[in-house]
């Protein structure tokens, strides 16, 4: 198990779509109040950032305001709706890989350890570069939503299922 006291200053970056899919696969919901407290208590938390699309509905707006009140910094953009011209199918998209990578790199001077809630293989290069800079990177996801590359390149990988009490609603 990880010795949290040896991680120094923490920056927590949360890819909302990824963590929500991970929780859904466990038939649970993320408890963002517990998550915030988990990274505050006895640790040196610099900032928690939550990257999400804006759905423009009251329920989602209320959810975002509750996160803001809890001390999360929100990074948002409108949900992009793409209609396939051939078959008329609709896809919704709001990818935050670039924003997360830039923020992790730009803020490297304020943290010793990046806590990344995402299993997206696109972050492998970021993790490798941060490790070259002497940073530790801890990845949280679930077994079926994390790329193998991330497991091998990060300092520590944790399945959020092992942190049910700390991160998920019962």
pLDDT digits (tens, 9 = 90+) for 11-68: 999 999 888 888 887 888 888 998 998 888 878 999 999 999 998 889 999 999 999 9
Tokens standing for 38? 């988990």
Cβ neighbours for 2, distance < 8 A, ≥ 6 positions apart: 138, 156, 158
pLDDT tens profile 116-152: 999 999 999 999 999 999 999 999 998 888 999 999 9
- Exposed, middle or buried, 67 (CB in 10 Å: 0-12/13-18/19+)? buried
pTM value is 0.91
In DSSP terms, 76 is beta-bridged to 52
CA distances from 169 to 26, 110, 141, 158, 166 (A): 11, 31, 16, 18, 9
């Amino acid at each position: 198990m990880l010795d949290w006291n040896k991680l120094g200053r923490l920056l927590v970056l949360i890819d909302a779509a990824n963590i929500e899919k991970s929780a859904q696969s466990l038939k649970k919901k993320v408890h963002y109040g517990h998550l915030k407290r988990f990274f505050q208590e006895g640790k040196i938390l610099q900032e928690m950032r939550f990257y999400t699309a804006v759905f423009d509905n009251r329920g989602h707006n209320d959810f975002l305001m509750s996160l803001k009140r809890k001390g999360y910094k929100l990074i948002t953009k409108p949900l992009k709706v793409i209609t396939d011209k051939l078959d008329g199918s609709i896809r919704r998209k709001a990818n935050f890989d670039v924003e997360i990578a830039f923020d992790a790199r730009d803020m490297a001077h304020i943290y010793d350890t990046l806590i990344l809630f995402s299993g997206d293989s696109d972050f492998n290069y970021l993790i490798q570069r941060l490790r070259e800079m002497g940073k530790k990177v801890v990845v949280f996801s679930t077994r079926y939503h994390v790329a193998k590359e991330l497991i091998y390149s990060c300092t520590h990988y944790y399945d959020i299922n092992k942190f049910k009490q700390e991160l998920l609603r019962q």
